């Protein structure tokens, strides 16, 4: 039987409309807006001023603090202003507006398609190069990769396996799938580099079975590499969650509050592996990414290679224009993505997809009373009791919420998806989780 | 049979009673009887506005001090504090504690702040603000889902369905601060109720640059600083493109109201101005 994770999970319609479409490079827009806060942690510190001339790959903002990542210019041109922009968070955040002139790259960047295979760098040098390139987790969580790779050295030494997340369990999204088909070898080189960086001999790539072509291609390519294995997985959401993927491929469960390293695993996204290849072998910082633009009424669902900072509207235009009955534009996938409030929102390092929902699809069903069917409990991949947590949060019973492990929620939305009463379970749980995390932080602060 | 049962049960009862008596005497906690009296004098709203956990906590705190300085039940106000002073035989309300009132620092009514998107999720400010900036383009202003109204034990704050803004009923407001704590936008503040309940407020919290916030709301403070220049008492400070009145310094001269180019500074409970005054104000504004 094909492997998958053992607790909960759902299987929404896959709707991978843009599968097998290949990657279309999108033209550089006339101006880009590069947010300084594209990652988890502290926003980057702007280094340029109004009027500064920049090239592709010029550092625009430096990492500020331990958990942070640098931001590079995705285009060449002149800095128009340092202002704000409404990004996918729905709030205005500091951003650098650049007027594009030509396409001139920094000299040390190799942007040819020639594959560079050999690497003689030490693990520390690799991690330093990853940090310099401003790479973050490309699956959507955007945690700075160099921090994840170098997390507490005594712990990092006990890593025994690298797990590559090529699951792409979100319905609709095909960006990783397309990347695997077109950049298979580069990805595998990236994986080898990551293995060197965390000093492990073994890596497994978890891919869901709805991507047979990618499984075949990578299975063929890994013969030339040492220690890499491809594991086909049953299609099940949210298999791309770190803890779920580890359970699926290793059959190991992580304790509440612990990190994957506690079971000897380091998990990286396949898009991150490719970005690592480009950063280490070609000196190319993270300035572009693959974005799926999709939707049932969209003329041409596609996968684009897009420069960071391109407004979402340019992608939608390239995919055939905004359909008339669009009710909602979502940044990311339908399960964990977030509605955008404007089409001027720029593409960031974490934008895996743009999904257009019709008016009918985007309206929430009217909620009714809980009928105690326990579907949410069966669906929860963390083994939590969503209906209890949601009620506890709604009625501000923070102690009860904490006791029932609200902070372990990964916000995958499986509970809300399965609820036949259309209860907004995740809305309340997410709020409660934030609240309880705040309470725990405050408690720790007073105890110290 | 009956005799044995009666005797044995009686014995058990007697032994139990003695034991209970001894234990209760030994572990007796002496409670100041005045706490009970003070508690009776308090309004039992248990709102926590005094800073203590409910009225019980406040009563215990009152009994434990030598003077009531700094202690105030915002619900009961001066009258209750004097009563407590009487019970405890110490001075009543200290001078300088003035009644406060909650003020919502947003004037972006629905007709001046256009809606740019529709939200159909859970109608709760804390959840909406966790998701995004809200249905209008002003990410600072009142969301209008009424978390404050929900938190108020006195029915003193409600969301006006016409304007979409939270409004405070100053008669009912006890300045307990529950709404201040719960507002995720942090736009409710407690300030002096003022002599004859008169006060001047700037109902805006938008910290964006003037040109930007003028686009998102017709009642926005653009941070021009004319009010601050006009104020002779240095009661107005412009910080982050937003003017704020320090209510402890404001002398209610209302000069700022006249010069505000946006016309957003509000005077509350003042008698209507003479015609000349308003004319002058209008000409200044133009």
ipTM of the complex: 0.84
Cβ separation B139–A91 shorter than 8 A: yes
Cβ separation B132–A91 shorter than 8 A: yes
* B51/B250 Cα distance (integer angstroms): 26
CA A237 to chain centre: 15
Return residues 180-209 of B near A (CB < 8 Å): 208
| Domains of chain B by residue range | 33-88, 100-285
| Cα within 13 Å of Cα(A212), Cβ side | 0
Classified as helix, coil or strand, A63 is coil
* B240/B253 Cα distance (integer angstroms): 25
Instruction: Decide if A307 contacts A329 (C-beta within 8 A).
Output: no
pLDDT value of position B244: 92
CATH 3.10.20.600 domain range(s) in chain A: 288-362
Query: How many interchain CB pairs under 8 A, A with B?
Result: 38
- What CATH class has B100-285? alpha beta
pLDDT digits (tens, 9 = 90+) for A96-107: 999 999 999 999
B131 at A interface, C-beta within 8 A: yes
Where residue B218 falls (left for φ over 0; alpha for ψ -120 to 50; beta otherwise) is alpha
Residue with tokens 């016409």: B162
pLDDT value of position B94: 55
Measure in Å the smallest separation between the Cα of B213 and chain A Cα atoms: 12
Cβ separation B122–A428 shorter than 8 A: yes
Where residue B149 falls (left for φ over 0; alpha for ψ -120 to 50; beta otherwise) is alpha
* Element housing B243 (H / E): strand B242-245
Quickly list DSSP for B67-107: S-TT---TTTHHHHHHHHHHHHTS--SPTT---EEEEE---
Q: Which of 2.40.100.10, 3.90.1150.10, 3.40.50.720, 3.40.50.11540 would CATH assign to domain A123-282?
A: 3.40.50.11540
Sign of CA dihedral B139, B141, B145, B146: positive
* A232/A2 Cα distance (integer angstroms): 7
Residue A231's CB: how many other CB atoms inside 10 A?
18
Instruction: Decide if A93 contacts A36 (C-beta within 8 A).
Output: yes
CB contacts of A434 in chain B (<8 Å) are: 130
Which residue in A71, A195, A187 sits closest to A135, CA to CA? Answer: A71
pLDDT at A129 over 90: yes
CB contacts of B48 in chain A (<8 Å) are: none
Fold held by A23-100: OB fold (Dihydrolipoamide Acetyltransferase, E2P) (2.40.50)
pTM of the model: 0.85
Instruction: Decide if A198 contacts A160 (C-beta within 8 A).
Output: no
A94 at B interface, C-beta within 8 A: no
Q: How confident is the model at residue A165 (pLDDT cuts 50, 70, 90)?
A: very high
A223 at B interface, C-beta within 8 A: no
Cβ separation B133–A90 shorter than 8 A: yes
* B234/A138 Cα distance (integer angstroms): 51
Where residue A307 falls (left for φ over 0; alpha for ψ -120 to 50; beta otherwise) is beta
* A187/A356 Cα distance (integer angstroms): 29
* A187/A203 Cα distance (integer angstroms): 12
Residue A65's CB: how many other CB atoms inside 10 A?
10
CA A24 to chain centre: 20
B116 at A interface, C-beta within 8 A: yes
pLDDT value of position A321: 93
* A411/A352 Cα distance (integer angstroms): 17
Residues 6+ apart with CB under 8 A from A14: A171, A210, A235
pLDDT at A362 over 60: yes
pLDDT at A436 over 80: yes
Instruction: Decide if B74 contacts B174 (C-beta within 8 A).
Output: yes
Cα Rg, chain B, nearest whole Å: 27
Classified as helix, coil or strand, B200 is strand
pLDDT value of position A154: 55
Q: How far is CA A90 from CA A74, A85, B85, in A?
A: 22, 9, 52
- What CATH class has A288-362? alpha beta
Range with the poorest average pLDDT among A28-32, A206-210, A248-252, B54-58: B54-58
Instruction: Decide if A151 contacts A158 (C-beta within 8 A).
Output: no
A419 at B interface, C-beta within 8 A: no
CATH 2.40.50 domain range(s) in chain A: 23-100
Which residue in A261, A311, A372, A289 sits closest to A85, CA to CA? Answer: A311
Instruction: Decide if B147 contacts B126 (C-beta within 8 A).
Output: yes
Q: How far is CA A255 from CA A258, A261, A269, A402, A410, in A?
A: 5, 11, 22, 15, 14
A365 at B interface, C-beta within 8 A: no
Q: How confident is the model at residue A89 (pLDDT cuts 50, 70, 90)?
A: confident
Q: How confident is the model at residue A184 (pLDDT cuts 50, 70, 90)?
A: very high
A86 at B interface, C-beta within 8 A: yes
pLDDT digits (tens, 9 = 90+) for A188-247: 999 999 999 988 999 999 999 999 999 999 999 999 999 999 999 999 999 999 999 999
pLDDT at A90 over 80: yes
Residues 6+ apart with CB under 8 A from B205: B105, B106, B140, B141, B185, B186, B187, B242
Reading chain B (286 residues) residue by residue, the pLDDT tens digits are: 899 999 999 999 999 999 999 998 888 887 788 888 888 888 888 887 787 888 888 888 888 887 777 788 878 777 888 888 888 887 655 555 678 899 999 999 988 988 888 898 899 999 999 888 889 989 899 999 999 999 998 899 999 999 999 999 988 898 888 999 999 999 999 988 888 888 999 999 999 888 888 888 999 999 999 999 999 999 999 999 999 999 888 999 999 999 999 999 999 888 887 655 555 555 555 5
The DSSP secondary-structure symbol of A150 reads: T
Peptide bond into A238 cis (omega under 30): yes
* B168/B160 Cα distance (integer angstroms): 10
pLDDT value of position B284: 55
* A77/A102 Cα distance (integer angstroms): 7
* A131/A62 Cα distance (integer angstroms): 10
Beta strands A288-294 and A353-358 are parallel
Beta strands A77-86 and A53-54 are antiparallel
CATH 3.40.50.11540 domain range(s) in chain A: 123-282
User: What are the residues facing A206 on neighbouring strands?
Assistant: A165, A231
Beta strands A228-233 and A202-208 are parallel
CA A286 to chain centre: 14
B126 at A interface, C-beta within 8 A: yes
Burial A17-28 (b: 16+ CB within 10 A, else e): bbbebebbebeb
The DSSP secondary-structure symbol of A205 reads: E
B21 at A interface, C-beta within 8 A: no
Cβ separation A92–B139 shorter than 8 A: yes
Residue A312's CB: how many other CB atoms inside 10 A?
22
pLDDT digits (tens, 9 = 90+) for A43-80: 999 999 999 999 999 999 999 988 999 999 999 999 99
CB contacts of A428 in chain B (<8 Å) are: 122, 127
The DSSP secondary-structure symbol of A56 reads: B
């Amino acid at each position: 039987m094909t492997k998958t994770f053992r607790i909960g999970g759902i299987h929404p319609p896959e709707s991978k409309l843009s599968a097998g479409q290949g990657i279309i490079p999108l033209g550089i827009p006339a101006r880009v807006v590069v947010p300084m806060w594209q990652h988890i942690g502290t926003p980057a510190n702007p280094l340029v001023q109004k009027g500064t001339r920049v090239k592709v790959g010029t550092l625009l903002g430096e990492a500020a603090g331990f958990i942070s990542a640098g931001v590079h210019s995705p285009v060449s041109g002149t800095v128009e202003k340092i202002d704000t922009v409404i990004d996918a968070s729905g709030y205005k955040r500091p951003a650098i507006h650049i007027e594009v002139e030509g396409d001139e790259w920094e000299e040390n960047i190799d942007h040819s398609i020639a594959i560079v295979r050999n690497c003689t760098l030490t693990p520390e040098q690799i991690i330093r190069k990853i940090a310099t390139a401003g790479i973050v987790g490309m699956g959507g969580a955007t945690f700075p990769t160099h921090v994840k790779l170098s997390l507490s050295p005594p712990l990092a030494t006990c890593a025994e396996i690298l797990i590559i997340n090529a699951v792409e369990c979100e319905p609709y999204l095909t960006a990783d799938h397309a990347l695997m088909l077109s950049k298979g070898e580069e990805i595998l080189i990236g994986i080898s580099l990551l293995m060197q960086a965390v000093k492990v001999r073994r890596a497994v790539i978890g891919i869901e079975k709805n991507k047979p072509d990618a499984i075949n291609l990578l299975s063929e390519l890994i013969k030339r590499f040492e220690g890499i294995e491809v594991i086909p997985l049953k299609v099940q959401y949210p298999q791309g969650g770190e803890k779920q993927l580890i359970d699926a491929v290793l059959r190991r469960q992580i304790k509440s509050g612990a990190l994957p390293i506690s079971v000897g695993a380091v998990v990286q996204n396949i898009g991150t592996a490719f970005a690592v290849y480009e950063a280490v072998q070609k000196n190319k910082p993270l300035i572009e990414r693959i974005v799926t633009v999709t939707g049932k009424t969209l003329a041409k669902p596609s996968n684009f290679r897009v420069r960071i900072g391109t407004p979402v509207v340019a992608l939608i235009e390239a995919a055939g224009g905004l359909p008339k009955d669009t009710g909602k534009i979502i940044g990311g996938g339908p399960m964990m993505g977030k509605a955008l409030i404007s089409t001027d929102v720029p593409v960031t390092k974490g934008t895996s997809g743009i999904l257009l929902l019709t008016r009918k699809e985007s309206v929430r069903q009217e909620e009714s009373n809980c009928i105690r069917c326990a579907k949410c409990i069966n669906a929860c991949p963390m083994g939590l009791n969503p209906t209890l947590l949601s009620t506890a949060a709604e009625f501000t019973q923070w102690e009860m919420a904490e006791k029932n492990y609200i902070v372990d929620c990964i916000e995958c939305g499986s509970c809300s998806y399965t609820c036949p009463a259309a209860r907004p379970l995740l809305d309340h749980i997410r709020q409660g989780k934030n609240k309880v995390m705040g309470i725990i932080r405050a408690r720790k602060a007073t105890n110290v | 049979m009956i005799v044995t049962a009666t005797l044995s049960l009686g014995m058990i009862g007697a032994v139990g009673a003695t034991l209970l008596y001894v234990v209760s005497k030994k572990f007796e906690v002496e409670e100041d009887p005045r706490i009970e009296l003070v508690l009776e004098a308090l309004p039992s709203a248990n709102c926590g506005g005094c800073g203590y956990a409910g009225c019980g906590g406040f009563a215990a705190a009152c009994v434990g001090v030598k003077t009531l300085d700094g202690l105030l039940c915002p619900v009961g106000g001066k009258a209750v504090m004097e009563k407590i002073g009487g019970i405890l035989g110490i001075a009543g309300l200290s001078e300088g504690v003035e009644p406060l009132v909650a003020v919502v620092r947003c004037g972006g009514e629905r007709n001046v702040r256009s809606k740019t998107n529709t939200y159909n999720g859970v109608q709760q400010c804390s959840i909406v603000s966790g998701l995004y900036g809200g249905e209008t383009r002003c990410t600072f202003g009142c969301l209008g889902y009424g978390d404050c109204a929900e938190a108020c034990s006195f029915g003193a704050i409600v969301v006006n369905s016409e304007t979409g803004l939270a409004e405070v009923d100053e008669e009912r407001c006890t300045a307990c601060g529950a709404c201040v704590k719960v507002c995720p936008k942090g736009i409710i503040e407690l300030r002096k109720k003022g002599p004859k309940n008169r006060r001047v407020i700037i109902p805006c919290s938008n910290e964006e640059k003037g040109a930007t916030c003028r686009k998102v709301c017709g009642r926005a403070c653009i941070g021009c600083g004319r009010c601050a220049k006009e104020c002779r008492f240095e009661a107005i400070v412009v910080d982050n493109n937003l003017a704020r009145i320090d209510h402890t310094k404001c002398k209610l001269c209302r000069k700022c109201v006249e010069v505000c180019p946006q016309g957003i500074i509000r005077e509350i409970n003042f008698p209507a101005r003479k015609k000349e005054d308003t004319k002058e104000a209008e000409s200044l504004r133009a």
